[in-house]
Amino acid sequence: MRIFAAIALFVLWLVLSASYNLIHITIGAIIASMISWFTPAGPLHVRRISWLAVLGYVPWLFGRILKSSFHVSRLILHPGLPIAPELIHHKTQLTSDGELVVLGNSITLTPGTITVEVAPGELVVHTIDKSSCKDLVNGLYDAKVSHLFLAKGDQ
């Protein structure tokens, strides 16, 4: 578990420092192992995430972002400004911290919907239009996010 974090930090060091002589690589290895050793394990365990589902989720989210971006662009450029903003209370079955973070971030990243308030089991979402919150109300986001994590419930 810790060794994965150390390897990830070391790869990030290699990408960001971009100088490959012995002393820089040694410093990077020492710092990466020290950080991963002293940091307590957070609530987001690497083993609980199914990385295959993440690989499918990211392109799907990018497609959603593209689609709703065109919708919001049309709303902004429309001369009559046909927006109908409202706050909706979205009940969800997701309760763990990791799932709520991923769900809230995805909602905020998609143009047209913004997470306003987060509590376990309920999100307050501001939407700019009726049609941009359709998939959220249908529960499509919840279903996609719940597939990302293997063990649900605790943590």
96, two tokens:
């763990």
**20-79 binders of another protein (CB under 8 A):** 65-66, 69, 72-73, 76-77
| Min CB(153)–another protein separation in Å | 25
Cα pseudo-dihedral 139, 145, 147, 152, rounded to 10: -100
With contacts defined by CB under 8 A, name the span among 10-18, 30-38, 41-49, 136-144 that binds another protein. 10-18
> How many residues sit in the footprint of another protein (CB under 8 A)?
33
Which of 5, 90, 99, 104 forms a contact with another protein (CB under 8 A)? Answer: 104
Residue 111 as a binder of another protein (CB under 8 A): the answer is yes
Return d(Cα 46, Cα 7) in angstroms, integer: 13
Return d(Cα 57, Cα 97) in angstroms, integer: 18
One-letter amino acid at 122 equals: E
118, two tokens:
């987060």
Check if the beta carbon of residue 127 is closer than 8 Å to that of residue 83. no
- Residues in contact with another protein by CB under 8 A are 12, 15-16, 18, 65-66, 69, 72-73, 76-77, 80-87, 104-105, 108-112, 114-117, 124, 126, 128
